[in-house]
């Protein structure tokens, strides 16, 4: 079996405390990756004045971790700058928030080149290379320039926008060109795959070969949807034994007979947190009998706080929260509980299980694993209801959720009422239907399917046809 080389900006070196951010990629990869022997390469998360051009190797048996430090300029230009201030908003359809700077773009290319040169020294001839996410789009082109001819796959964990949106970003044609150096490109949904193929056709004059192969300047790649899943069994187990946890007991006692609505997201403008709070405000306004009977818990770990748009969002959320709790709260009842700490997976699983409603309403999201974790954590006999944005990739699969437009506060408020009033029979039936999807397409299925496609004859034939 060939060795698997995974590359991602964040590397989840196993942490004995089990702490993790709410962001899904690192956890999904860790779960998927543990089935393979191999190497995981990426940023250490650390900044050094004079970082080594060779990675630090941490050996954990089955998986070796190869970690690169960045300079503070690298972090500023590559991570905070181009990846998170220019690309992230564009990929989430927020053209107005995208701040392009040529210096940041050069920093992004520089870090990709440094990573590729360091990684090229570690790659063996039979290795399968699997690159993850928007921080590293040019990595394959840089690896090719360093002489690497291995099969290289790329997985894009966030939405791929329509060509008209991506086209607003200076440098977008170069990014599209860099995509062509991968043998297989995975996205979460067919909509994303279609957007990327259309972008290549529209901006680079690509030719499409049926059904998923595109060709530019006689170079071919395959682009396909592979919806990422979760470890369903693990989440069920965690949720099932969470009752003894201190936080879960305190939350249960604090709730009394009140129902709980939960949202869990990184504090990111793509998640629609202020909009969701306002939809809840509207729900309380139109259903005054529900005041004091329901609590909305929003967990939103602080994220990318060096990026100005995230700091602004933090202020907007605080203001919205303060206004709603101030105007609608009562001495014995706070409508919205808001916490910005990071919780262990076992605690999150327990909170999901306590919640009658999972309120997951991003403005855009590649997949949204919280929606899936919420479903997996439910009590099969008495499950809660998932309210899910139609702009989350997960909505393409979880059709039995209450699907809403997060821009429409009236619709979201009505969905909250419907969820709280839903009969047990309907809740069970919707939950069973969602669980069957989660079980059929779990995280192991996702990784295995992508890697099978990467090594398939179809991919090899398409690559050989490149001349
Ligand atoms: C999203 C991205 C990941 C990223 C995560 C957390 O899920 O797709 O690539 O790791 O957010 O963001 P951060 O900037 O903290 O790595």
DSSP assignment of 309-322 equals HHHHHHHHHHHHHH
Residues 167 and 463: their CA atoms lie apart, in Å, by 27
pLDDT at 22: 37
Does 209 participate in catalysis according to the annotation? no
pTM of the model: 0.96
DSSP assignment of 174-239 equals HHHHHHTTSSEEEESSHHHHHHHHHHHHHHH--EEETTTEEEETTEEEEEEE------HHHHHHHH
Q: Which atom of ligand 1 is nearest to the CA of 8?
A: 9
Q: In the structure encoding, which two tokens stand for residue 348, read together?
A: 């999150």
**Residue minimizing CA distance to atom 16 of ligand 1:** 10
CA–centroid distance, residue 244 to ligand 1 (Å): 31
pLDDT at 13: 82
Mean pLDDT of the 73-83 span: 98
Ligand 1 pocket test, candidate residues 7, 25, 43, 362, most atoms within 8 A of CB: 25
| pLDDT higher at 467 or 225 | 225
What residues are paired with 207 via a beta bridge? 215
| Peptide bond connecting 181 to the previous residue in cis, omega within 30 degrees of 0 | no
Does 157 participate in catalysis according to the annotation? yes
**If DSSP codes are grouped into helix, strand and coil, which group holds residue 384?**
coil
| pLDDT higher at 126 or 12 | 126
CA–centroid distance, residue 134 to ligand 1 (Å): 10
pLDDT at 25: 62
> pLDDT tens digits for 203-225?
999 999 978 999 999 999 999 99
Q: Classify burial at 281, counting beta carbons within 10 Å of its beta carbon; exposed 0-12, middle 13-18, buried 19 or more.
A: buried
Q: In the structure encoding, which two tokens stand for residue 291, read together?
A: 């005041």
Catalytic residue, candidates 135, 157, 188, 265: 157
Cβ of residue 303 lying under 6 Å from some atom of ligand 1: yes
> pLDDT tens digits for 85-115?
999 999 999 999 999 999 999 999 999 999 9
% of the chain with per-residue pLDDT over 90? 89
Q: In the structure encoding, which two tokens stand for residue 236, read together?
A: 């069920």
| Peptide bond connecting 4 to the previous residue in cis, omega within 30 degrees of 0 | no
pLDDT at 460: 86
| pLDDT higher at 41 or 463 | 41
pLDDT above 90: residue 407: yes
What residues are paired with 38 via a beta bridge? 4, 63
The residue length of the chain stands at 467
Residues 349 and 342: their CA atoms lie apart, in Å, by 13
Give the residue among 170, 132, 97 at the shortest CA–CA distance from 24. Answer: 132
Residues 92 and 157: their CA atoms lie apart, in Å, by 11
pLDDT above 80: residue 452: yes
pLDDT above 50: residue 345: yes
Cβ of residue 24 lying under 6 Å from some atom of ligand 1: yes
pLDDT above 80: residue 133: yes
Residues 83 and 92: their CA atoms lie apart, in Å, by 12
Ligand 1 pocket test, candidate residues 7, 19, 23, most atoms within 8 A of CB: 23
% of the chain with per-residue pLDDT over 70? 95
Cβ of residue 10 lying under 6 Å from some atom of ligand 1: yes
Pairing between β-strand 63-70 and β-strand 56-60 as defined by DSSP bridges: antiparallel
Cβ of residue 113 lying under 6 Å from some atom of ligand 1: no
* ipTM of predicted complex: 0.99
pLDDT mean across residues, the chain: 94
Q: CB-hemisphere CA count at 13 Å for 241?
A: 7
CA–centroid distance, residue 274 to ligand 1 (Å): 20
pLDDT above 60: residue 19: no
What residues are paired with 295 via a beta bridge? 260
Q: In the structure encoding, which two tokens stand for residue 134, read together?
A: 């928007």
pLDDT at 16: 62
Q: Which residues, 6 or more positions from 341, have their beta carbon under 8 angstroms from its beta carbon? A: 299, 301
Per-residue CA distances from 303 to 99, 153, 300, 342 (Å): 18, 28, 9, 10
Instruction: State in Å, rounded, how far the first CA of the chain is from the last one.
Output: 28
pLDDT at 27: 63
Q: Which residues, 6 or more positions from 440, have their beta carbon under 8 angstroms from its beta carbon? A: none
């Amino acid at each position: 079996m060939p060795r698997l080389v995974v590359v991602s900006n964040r590397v989840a070196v196993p942490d004995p405390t089990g702490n993790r951010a709410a962001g899904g990629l690192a956890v999904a990869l860790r779960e998927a990756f543990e089935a393979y022997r191999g190497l995981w390469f990426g940023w250490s998360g650390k900044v050094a004045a004079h970082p080594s051009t060779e990675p630090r190797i941490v050996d954990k048996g089955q998986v070796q971790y190869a970690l690169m430090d960045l300079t503070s300029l690298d972090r500023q230009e590559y991570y905070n700058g181009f990846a998170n201030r220019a690309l992230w908003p564009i990929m989430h359809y927020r053209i107005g928030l995208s701040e392009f700077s040529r210096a940041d773009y050069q920093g992004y290319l520089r870090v990709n080149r440094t990573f590729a040169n360091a990684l090229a020294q570690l790659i063996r001839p039979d290795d399968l290379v699997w690159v993850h996410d928007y921080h590293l789009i040019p990595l394959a082109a840089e690896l090719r320039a360093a002489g690497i001819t291995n099969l290289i796959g790329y997985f894009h964990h966030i939405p791929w926008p329509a060509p008209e949106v991506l086209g607003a970003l200076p440098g977008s044609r170069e990014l599209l060109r860099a995509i062509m150096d991968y043998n297989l490109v995975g996205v979460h949904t067919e909509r994303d795959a279609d957007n990327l193929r259309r972008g290549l056709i529209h901006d680079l004059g690509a030719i499409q070969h049926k059904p998923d192969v595109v060709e530019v300047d006689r170079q071919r790649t395959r682009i396909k949807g592979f919806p990422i899943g979760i470890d369903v069994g693990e989440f069920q187990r965690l949720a099932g034994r969470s009752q003894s946890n201190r936080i879960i007991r305190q939350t249960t006692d604090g709730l009394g007979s009140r129902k709980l609505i939960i949202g869990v997201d990184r504090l990111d403008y793509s998640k629609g947190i202020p909009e969701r709070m306002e939809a809840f405000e509207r729900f309380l306004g139109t259903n005054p009998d529900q005041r004091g009977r329901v609590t909305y818990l929003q967990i939103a770990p602080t994220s990318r706080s060096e990026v100005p748009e995230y700091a602004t969002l933090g202020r907007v959320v605080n203001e919205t929260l303060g206004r709603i709790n101030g105007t609608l709260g009562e001495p014995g009842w706070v409508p919205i509980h808001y916490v910005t700490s990071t919780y262990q997976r076992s605690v999150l699983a327990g909170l999901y299980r306590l919640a009658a409603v999972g309120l997951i309403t991003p403005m855009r999201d590649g997949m949204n694993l919280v929606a899936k974790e919420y479903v997996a954590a439910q009590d099969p006999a008495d499950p809660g209801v998932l309210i899910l944005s139609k702009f989350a990739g997960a909505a393409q699969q979880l059709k039995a959720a209450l699907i809403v437009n997060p821009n429409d506060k009236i619709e979201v408020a009505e969905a909250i009422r419907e969820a709280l009033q839903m009969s047990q029979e309907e809740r069970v039936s919707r939950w069973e239907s969602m669980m069957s999807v989660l079980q059929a397409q779990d995280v192991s299925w996702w990784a295995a399917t992508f890697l099978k496609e990467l090594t398939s004859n179809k991919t090899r034939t398409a690559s050989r046809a490149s001349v």
